Structure 1
Amino acid sequence: MIVIHNYAEFEAHLGQVLGTSPWHTITQQQIQQFAEATIDHQWIHTDPERAATESPFKATIAHGYLTVSLLPYFWNQIADVRNLKMQINYSIENIRFAQAVPVNSKVRLIAKLNAIVNLRGITKATIGVTMEIDGEKKPAYTGEVVFLYHFNS
């Protein structure tokens, strides 16, 4: 895990892969809970019996937005950004879903510092993200997330 205390420490990693998270298994329970929270009960996600016979994946798949919602969880396993007054999730950009994530798949995140700017004392960090699926060549998605960090000093 990378530890960052200020803008200068962050900037030193520009253009570099910051790390890779541990694997996380997407369970049917997690899919069901996400469906409840988002009121998205499409059968391809929530009906294992029907998915086994009618889906091209032969199993339920995670909601694409479920996999995106895991970004903060994975990011916090890659980077420990300290000395903060506040962190703001600023934007998610250019997310492209390349492959479905079947239930019980293991996924992980690779994060790279694509850009960093000092906005009058606020650090704007653009992190390139790739969510890998264990055993698959194509990722679940690629894109960028942007965080604003208000460091104490």
Structure 2
Amino acid sequence: MRSTLAFGRLEQFHPEPSLDVGHAVESRHVVRPIFEKQTASAGVAPADVSFGPFRLLATQFLLLEGDKPVGIGSRALEILTVLLERRGELVSKQDLMARVWPNVHVGAANLTVHMSALRRALRDGRDGNRFIVNIPGRGYCFVASVDVSRHGN
């Protein structure tokens, strides 16, 4: 199932050594888990994440606006997932590419294309919506407020 593979990869992510310092120091980010692996014994499904008029359903790897699915590609959804996990933090382009295209060498243009599709789908920057901020040459930050709801039993 697509959602199991996508979120399984996200759980295995470990940031690469920081590129901003002159010596090799591994940066460890504290990740606020939005999406947790579902286990039969736990009986707790992953969280749904809401922001603005949108809701990301983790178990279905689906973005909704109200109750209507948003037409968005899987790479753009994975980018959104990473940004939501680290909301309020700058996520470098290198980190995003490593998470969305693990073990694959891709150019920054790939990230730009999928980020553009994501922002277009969210209507980011229009009608008072501001979800993702770009820090030129450095990365992206999810800046909107987020509501996380957990479902159980």
Coarse TM-score class (shorter-chain normalised): under 0.3
Give the TM-score of the pair, scaled to structure 2.
Answer: 0.26
Structure number with greater CO (CA < 8 Å, separation at least 6) is: 1
Q: Which is higher, the Rg of structure 1 or of structure 2?
A: 1
Give the TM-score of the pair, scaled to structure 1.
Answer: 0.26
Report the structure, 1 or 2, having the larger strand content.
Answer: 1
Report the structure, 1 or 2, having the larger helix content.
Answer: 2
